[in-house]
Structure 1
Amino acid sequence: MNARLERKLRLLAVVTVASAIGGVAFVVANGLMSPSAIAAGIAYGVFLGVALGGISLFVLEGPMRPWLGSLSFTANLLVRTAIYAAIIVPILYFQLGEIIARVPPDPSRKTFWISIVYSVVFVVLANLVLGIANIIGPRAFLNFVTGRYHLPVEENRFVLFVDIAGSTGLAERLGGIAIHRLLDRTFRLLTLAVVDYRGEVLNYVGDEVIVTWRERSGAVDCRPLRCFIAMRDELSLAAGQLEREFGVLPRIRGSLHFGAVIVGEIGDIKRAIVFNGDVMNAAARLEELSRSVEGGFLASRAGMEQFRSALPVKVRDLGRLPIRGRVEGIDVVGLDIPTAQTA
C-alpha cells in the first residue's frame, strides 16, 4: 500500500477509536448508562470520527493543505474548527447517532447544546494535539509522550543529510524573503519522499534536512537510498512550477551513513530529542565532500552493506576518502549518474 495512504488510514483509525471513546465518555458523564445510550454514543463517536477524520486527512491535508499552510497556527486552527463545527451541528441536530444505532430519538433534544459544546471542545483539543505533533514531528511527539528517549539510548541508525546546492548564491539572487519561501516549498516537496519511504525528519538546519531510519526499517528495500532518488524526482516534477514562481531550479546533494548514535532528550525551556555520535559527524562531513563529486551524493560502505536487496541505481566505488575528524578516512561509494541528470 502507498505509504502516504497507509499513514492517513492509520491516523483515521486512531481518530475514530478516540472519538468512539469520547462518545461513550459523554453519555456516561450525563448519567445515561443504558446499553441503548452507550450504543448511540459509540455510533456518534464513530460517525463523527470518520466524517471529521476523513475531511481532515483527505481534504484539509489534501487539496486545501497549501492554503491552510499559508495561515498562522491560530488561524489554521480556527478555520479547521469552523469546518468541523459545520459538520458536527447537523449530525447532532438530526440525531444521526440514534438513527445509526436504531435507538428512538429524543424529541426534547435536551442534550443538544451540551453535545455541541463537548464535541467542539473535543475537536479543538484533538486538533491542538495534532498541530503540536505536526510542529515537532509525529514520531518525536509520540516519543515524548511515551518517554522512549527520556534516558539516552544507543541505536543503530541510517542518517541521510540532504543539502540545497548553491543556496548562498540563490539567497543573494532572490533575497531573504524569497529564499525562505523557496526553501519552505522545497522542503515540503522533499518531505513527500520521506513519508513514502517511512523516514523520520530529525531536523531542518538552514538549507539542510536530516532524515533518519532505524536499522531494521531503513534496511528494507534500500529505503534511505530510494528516498534520496525520490527527492530528486519530486523536484524534477515540480521544476516548471518552481521556475515560474522563483525563476530557479533548486538542486540537492546528499550523504548517507550508518552506525550507532546516542538518542535522548536534552534541554529545559525548549526540550528536544537529539542525536549525537560519530555517525552524525561523519555524515555531515560526507555531505560537504559530495559537493565536489559527480552525482552529488556519497554513501559510506558501512551504510551500503546494510541493504539486503538489489540497489535501485548503479553506484561506483570511490575508495577511501579523507574526512575531517578521522585520521583513517572512510570508504565511500557514489551514484553512477551523469552530472546532466542531477543538474
Structure 2
Amino acid sequence: MNARLERKLRLLAIVVAASVIGAVVYSLAQGFTTATGIAVGISYGLLISVAMTGISQFVLDGPLREWLGGLSFTANLMVRSTIYAAIIVPILFFQVGNIIAGVPPDPSHQTFWIDITYAVVFLILANLVIGITNIIGPRAFLNFVTGRYHSPVEENRFVLFVDIAGSTGLAERLGGVGIHRFLDRTFRILTLSVVDYRGEVLDYVGDEIIVTWPERGGAVDCRPLRCFVAMRDELSRAAGQFEREFGSMPRIRGSLHFGPVIVGEIGDVKRAIVFNGDVMNTAARLEELSRNVDGGFLASRAAMDRFASVPPFAVHDLGRLPIRGRADGIDVIGIAA
C-alpha cells in the first residue's frame, strides 16, 4: 500500500477508535446505559470521526495542504475547527445518529447544547494533538507519550543527511525572508519522499534535513537510497514553480551512514529526543565530501552492506576516501548523477 495512504488510514483508524470510546463514555455519563443508548452514542462517534478525519486527511491535508501550511498555527487551527463545526452541528441538530441507530429523534433537542459542548471540547483537543504532532512529528510525539526514550537507549540506525546546494548564494540574492520561504517550500517537498519511504525527519538544521530509519525498516528495498533519489525527482517536477517564484531550482546533495546511535530525551524547558554518536558525525562529514563527487551523494559501505536487496539503480564503488576525524578513512559508494 502507498505509504502516504497507509499513514492517513492509520490516523483515521486511531481517531475513529478514540471517538467511539469517547462517545460510549459520554453516553454512560448521560445515563444512557441500555444497548440502544450506547448504539446511538457509537453512531454519533462513527459519523463525526469518519467525516471529520476523512476531510482532514483527504482534503485539508490533500488539495488544501499547501494553503493551510502557509497559515500560522492559530489560523490553521481556527480554519480546521470551523470546518469541523460545520460537520458536527448539522449531525447533532438533525440527530443523524439516532436515525442510523433506529431511535426516533427527540423533537425537544433537550441535550443538543450539552452534546455540542462535549463535541467542541473533543474537537479542540483533537486539533491541538494533531497540531502538536505536526510540529514535533508523529513518531516523536508517540515516543514522548510512551516514554520510549525517557532513558537513553542504543539503536542501529540509517542516517541520511540532505543538504540544499548553493543556499548561501541564494540567501544573498533572495534576502532573509526569501531564502526562508525557499527552504520551507523545498523541505515540504522533500518530506513527501520521507513519508513515501517510511523515514523519520529527525531535524532541520539550516539548509539541511536529517532523516533516519531503524535498521529493519531502512534495510527493506534500500529505502534510504530510494528516498534520496525520489527527493530529486520531486524537486525536478516542481522545477517550473520554483523558477517562477524564486528564479532558481533547488539542488540537493546527500550522504548516508549506518551504525549504533544513542537515542534519548534531553533538556528541561524545551524537551527533545536527540541522536548522538559517531554515526551522526560521520554522516555529516560524508555530506561535506559529497560536494566534490559526481552525483553529489555518498553512502558508506557500512550502510550499503545492511540493505536486504540490490539497489534499483546504478551505483559505483569510490573506494576508501579520507575523512576528517578518522585516520583510516572510510569506504564509500556513489550513485549516478
Partner of 2:85: 85
- Give, in angstroms, the shift of residue 61 of structure 1: 0.6
- Relative to structure 2, which stretch is displaced further, 294-303 or 322-331? 322-331
* SS of alignment partner, residue 229 of structure 1: helix
Q: How big is each residue's C-alpha offset from its partner over 1:79-113, in whole Å with a ceiling of 9 and x where there is no partner?
A: 11111111101100111111111122222211001
Q: How big is each residue's C-alpha offset from its partner over 1:59-94, in whole Å with a ceiling of 9 and x where there is no partner?
A: 111111111111111111111111111110110011
Partner of 1:163: 163
Partner of 1:31: 31
* SS of alignment partner, residue 110 of structure 2: coil
* SS of alignment partner, residue 175 of structure 1: helix
- Give, in angstroms, the shift of residue 120 of structure 1: 1.1
* SS of alignment partner, residue 16 of structure 2: helix
- Relative to structure 2, which stretch is displaced further, 63-72 or 228-237? 63-72
* SS of alignment partner, residue 169 of structure 1: helix
- Give, in angstroms, the shift of residue 319 of structure 1: 0.8
Taking the aligned partners of 1:25 and 1:84, their CA distance within structure 2 comes to 21
Q: How big is each residue's C-alpha offset from its partner over 1:248-291, in whole Å with a ceiling of 9 and x where there is no partner?
A: 01100000000000000000100000000000000000000000
User: In the TM superposition, what are the counterparts of 1:80-159 in structure 2 within 5 Å?
Assistant: 80-159=80-159
Partner of 2:44: 44
- Give, in angstroms, the shift of residue 140 of structure 1: 0.2
Partner of 1:270: 270
Q: Percent identity?
A: 76
Q: How big is each residue's C-alpha offset from its partner over 1:5-35, in whole Å with a ceiling of 9 and x where there is no partner?
A: 1110111111111111111111111111111
- Relative to structure 2, which stretch is displaced further, 316-325 or 296-305? 316-325
Taking the aligned partners of 2:266 and 2:195, their CA distance within structure 1 comes to 26
Taking the aligned partners of 1:103 and 1:14, their CA distance within structure 2 comes to 27
Q: How big is each residue's C-alpha offset from its partner over 1:296-325, in whole Å with a ceiling of 9 and x where there is no partner?
A: 000000000011212121111111111111
* SS of alignment partner, residue 291 of structure 2: helix
Partner of 1:185: 185
Equivalent position amino acid for 1:316 in 2: H
Taking the aligned partners of 2:326 and 2:231, their CA distance within structure 1 comes to 29
Taking the aligned partners of 2:250 and 2:109, their CA distance within structure 1 comes to 58
Q: Which runs of 5+ in 1 are unaligned?
A: 338-343
- Relative to structure 2, which stretch is displaced further, 311-320 or 252-261? 311-320
Equivalent position amino acid for 1:163 in 2: D
Equivalent position amino acid for 1:130 in 2: I
* SS of alignment partner, residue 295 of structure 1: coil
- Give, in angstroms, the shift of residue 37 of structure 1: 0.7
Taking the aligned partners of 2:72 and 2:121, their CA distance within structure 1 comes to 20
Taking the aligned partners of 1:50 and 1:129, their CA distance within structure 2 comes to 17
> TM-score if structure 1 supplies the norm length?
0.97
Q: How big is each residue's C-alpha offset from its partner over 1:37-69, in whole Å with a ceiling of 9 and x where there is no partner?
A: 100000100111100000110111111111111
* SS of alignment partner, residue 43 of structure 1: helix
Partner of 2:14: 14
- Give, in angstroms, the shift of residue 115 of structure 1: 0.4
Taking the aligned partners of 1:106 and 1:218, their CA distance within structure 2 comes to 55
Partner of 2:200: 200
Taking the aligned partners of 2:60 and 2:82, their CA distance within structure 1 comes to 12
Partner of 1:305: 305
Taking the aligned partners of 1:153 and 1:279, their CA distance within structure 2 comes to 15
The answer to whether 1:76 aligns with 2:76 is yes
Partner of 1:285: 285
* SS of alignment partner, residue 256 of structure 1: strand
Partner of 1:316: 316
Partner of 1:56: 56
- Relative to structure 2, which stretch is displaced further, 13-22 or 234-243? 13-22
Q: CA RMSD in A?
A: 0.7
Equivalent position amino acid for 2:299 in 1: A
Equivalent position amino acid for 2:70 in 1: S
Q: Which runs of 5+ in 2 are unaligned?
A: none
Partner of 2:255: 255
Taking the aligned partners of 1:109 and 1:102, their CA distance within structure 2 comes to 17
Equivalent position amino acid for 2:308 in 1: R
Equivalent position amino acid for 1:51 in 2: A
Equivalent position amino acid for 1:5 in 2: L
Taking the aligned partners of 2:185 and 2:108, their CA distance within structure 1 comes to 52
Taking the aligned partners of 2:277 and 2:187, their CA distance within structure 1 comes to 25
Equivalent position amino acid for 1:41 in 2: G
Partner of 1:331: 331
Taking the aligned partners of 2:242 and 2:223, their CA distance within structure 1 comes to 26
Taking the aligned partners of 2:31 and 2:180, their CA distance within structure 1 comes to 54
- Give, in angstroms, the shift of residue 173 of structure 1: 1.2
Taking the aligned partners of 2:99 and 2:287, their CA distance within structure 1 comes to 60
Taking the aligned partners of 2:328 and 2:103, their CA distance within structure 1 comes to 75
